[in-house]
Amino acid sequence: RLFSYVSPELLSRPTFSRLLALLDNYEPRTGRDEEETAEEQQEQKEFLDAALDTPLLALLERFVLRKGLYPSAAAFRADLHSMWFGLYSRSGGKALDSSGFEHVFHGEVKKGSVLGCHNWVQLQALERAGRLEYLGYTWDGPWTSFPDVLSLQFRWDGHSKPRGSLLVGSSPEFDLALFTLCFLTRPDSQCRISLGGEGATIQTYTWEKQRLVASAYPLTP
């Protein structure tokens, strides 16, 4: 197994519980429209509100306003929702079947292969449900505490992810803040950071040069 134990108390915290509530909203297979109900849109809002209520997102908000990237906190918050939850097509325009959040935090399946799925909370939920087959890791970072960086391979409902990388043990707001920061300041390029005193690199991509997240994840050797 990938996870021997995950604290239920941790998963009950506001950002974790609201992230988990979002994860059953998505159709992983591309080519099928994502239908967002009013309830699901409310869950998106509740997740972002919970994240924005943390010191990490408050710090990011102050940073982007101080740098003049946004004229107001309201403008930043609106763009945060748009860049992560704005829908686009990974099926050549056949369907609005993807978003930055779905790709990074949930994962997708295209032609039998897993795309994205760069979030450990999703992986532990899939493993707990008996839907994840962990096939081992290809790189484990130098970190001896969390957050850590891991490159691994797995199958999700029989669909293969030959290699994927993610932060392990981080909070949802940490991933959201870090990926958003790199997306805004180093889009479509490598974003070098210091994580617990060790160097790490985050790669982000925009969707067709729009202000929509296509992907975000830690690079590994």
Residue 155 phi, psi dihedral angles, 5° rounding: -120, 140
Pick the catalytic residue: 106, 111, 159, 161?
161
Pick the catalytic residue: 45, 67, 103, 106?
103
Pick the catalytic residue: 94, 110, 118, 209?
118
Active site residue 159: no
Active site residue 67: no
Tokens in use for 146?
A: 């969390």
Listed in sequence order, the residues at least 6 apart from 1 whose beta carbon sits closer than 8 Å to its beta carbon are 127, 134
Active site residue 103: yes
- Length of the chain counted residue by residue: 221
Q: What does the DSSP 8-state code read for residue 25?
A: S
* In the block, residue with structure tokens 């939850």: 85
Q: How far is CA 181 from CA 32, 83, 134, in A?
A: 30, 12, 30
Catalytically annotated residues = 103, 118, 161
